[in-house]
Each structure stands twice: as C-alpha cells, then as structure tokens.
A and B are shown apart, each in its own frame.
Chain A
Amino acid sequence: MTNYPFTIDQTVVVNEVLANSGADPDWIELHNRTSEPINIGGWFLSDSSTDLAKYESLSAPSSREMVISFSTRTPTSAREAQILIA
C-alpha cells in the first residue's frame, strides 16, 4: 500500500477532509485533477488498509461538482459516506 503508480497531479485524489465536524457529518472531498471525466461509480472508499472495499460508490458523478454517496456493501448497514467531487 505504499507505492502508488500515479501522482496527485494526474488522478482522483482525496483533496480535503473534515474529520472533526462536531454535530455535522464528516466529509471527504475528492478532486479529479485531470481535464477528462473519470467515472468513479463503483469505486471504494475505506479507512482500513485491510478492507479497502469498505464503502462503495453508489453513483457515477455526472458533473464535476456534486455530492455522491458511498455505502457499505452489506445491505443491512446504514453507514454511508458523503463525497464531494470538486
């Protein structure tokens, strides 16, 4: 998990994180640093190196700026993530 083949200038990166949000939801902003659309539908987000497929993107963004949801792959779980595509 230490050697990534891309640089942050070329791809989708975790650009901003609000982890201590008080009563409001935490959030993560992803940034597509390329000039071309990248479909992240079905991509995964995780906070565990041993479970990279913890949360799955539920939708493919149709514009550069939107809120999408990530959900656990277990249908009974209610945990979701809000992701901003800037």
Chain B
Amino acid sequence: MTSFGLSDDGETVYLTSAVDDQLTEYRFKEDFGASLEGQPFGYYRKPSTGGYNFITLSAPTQAAANAGPKVGPIVISEIMYNPAGAGAAEYFEILNISDSNVTLFDATQNKAWKFTGGIEYEFPALSPLTMTPGQRVVLTRSIPDFNASYTVPSGTLVIEWITGKLSNGGESLQLGQPGPVNALNETQFVRVDRVKYDNNSPWVSSPDGGGPSLSKIAEKEYGNDYINGRPWQESGRRFSRSFLR
C-alpha cells in the first residue's frame, strides 16, 4: 500500500461529508505548518478560554487523548512592546528552558534559526549562538536606546534585530528553526515558540505605554495563552528590578 502522503513542509487537509459520492454540507479544514520528523500537530485546549490551538504536540498519540503542547527548548519569556520614552528601546527575551545547550543554527542545512513573525531577525550563521540551559538572551530594536532605559544582569547578551518593530496593538511573535525543504528546495521553518500577545483585555495592558513588561511566569508551560497557569502577567518581578532603571 502506498501511504497517504502529507507534506513535511505543511499543507491543508479537508474532510467533507458525502452521500453516494455527492458532497454534502459538512466541511472541516485544518492548516498546519512545517514539522520535524516524528512531531505531530494536534488540538490543544487552552484552559483560559476553552479555545483551541492546532499546534505541535509533545508526542504522537494515535487513538488516544492528545498529548500536551511541545514547549521549548527555546521560549519567548518576556515582551516589552511599548516602553516609556524611546520606542526603539522595546525588547523581548528568549530563554533556554531545556537541560541542554541549544545552538540556534542547523549545520546540516547551513541555516540559522530566525524569527518568522513579529520582527525580522536571523541568528548568526558564521558564529552560531549557543544558549546554555537557563540562559536568557535579550533582543531589542535599538541597543543604544535599550541601554539608555534598562540595565541587564552582567553577562546578558543583548542583540539588536534587523527590521520591524513590536506592534503596540498586539501581534504574533514567532521563533522558527530550519525544517524540511519544499518542492522549490526552499527551507521551511518549524515553529519553536509563538506568543500572540495583545494590548487589550484579557492580556494586561501595562506594556502598552511604559510597563511593566509582559513576563512569562510559568516559563516551561505553553506560552500562547494569557492565563494558562498565569504564565503571562505584568512583570513587576524579575525585570522591574533588573531591567528598569
């Protein structure tokens, strides 16, 4: 038997009801992106709203309840999209939540990880960045403006992204790693983490105009949810002490 082949680089599947070979009214459509080998997509019910995200799951579960979401190894852990003063001081932080070093570069494809939503930034390829377990890296629109507004713990790497700004009205900030190539031999990026933040309720609005920032509290849990275990809330914690002057 030749298997039903789905695209490693993502596609859309459709389920349609029919009677006697004639399509009837029921349709269901699902989109999914590129994936790494063995990583399934599936529905995850967000406890905050009861809504669903179709996302990468931590393990395949044929004919059983879906596993939880795959989280990490790198997550977006803090977002400050509209700081007081210079707007270019805006920043976000990524964190290695795994127990291993993670190099943001795929040597097989000679491609670096990059942000595929929100802002444009591709991590270095000539000198790839390796994040150690627990390491945090800050990305900002302007290092001079950031340094004028915030201080960071000694040794913290601060990177200036290339193009774009964080929307003050909310958007999807998404990190991707090189994945399968498509029919045009173009590398497709697999989502590593995504946060679709908002400046309106139920998300806290404090980052829209000064702060504190959005800070992920449960850093190893699913982050694209405003209240899943309350991972996102006004910072007032780590960064109000270490970043804000």
> Which residues on A are within 8 Å of B, measured CB to CB?
1, 4-6, 8, 11-22, 25-31, 40, 42-49, 52-53, 55-56, 65, 70, 73, 78-82, 84-86
Contacts and interface: CB of A to CB of B under 8 A. Distances in A.
A28 B62 CA distance: 9
B38 to A, nearest CB: 7
Interface string B1-29: 11111111011111111111101011111
Interface string B30-50: 101001111111110000000
Nearest to A65: B63
Given A16-B60, A19-B11, A26-B5, A43 B29 contact: no
Contacts of B30: 13-14, 17
A79 B5 CA distance: 9
Contact of B43 (A1, A15, A46, A78): A15
Contacts of B43: 8, 13, 15-16, 31
B176 interface: no
A81 B3 CA distance: 6
Given A1-B27, A16-B66, A85-B63, 11 more contacts: A5-B26, A15-B66, A16-B62, A18-B41, A20-B39, A26-B5, A28-B4, A42-B19, A46-B16, A47-B6, A49-B14
A57 B30 CA distance: 18
Contacts of B61: 16
B17 A6 contact: no
10 contacts: A1-B14, A6-B28, A16-B41, A20-B8, A26-B3, A26-B5, A42-B20, A43-B15, A45-B15, A86-B64
Among B18, B19, B60, the one with the most A-chain Cβ atoms within 10 Å of its Cβ is B18
Contacts of A26: 3-6
B42 A15 contact: yes
A20 B13 contact: no
A26 B62 CA distance: 11
A47 B3 contact: no
A81 B23 CA distance: 19
B243 interface: no
B10 A19 contact: yes
A78 B38 contact: no
10 closest cross-chain pairs (CB), A and B: A81-B4, A16-B42, A25-B3, A19-B6, A20-B8, A14-B30, A26-B6, A20-B35, A18-B40, A44-B16
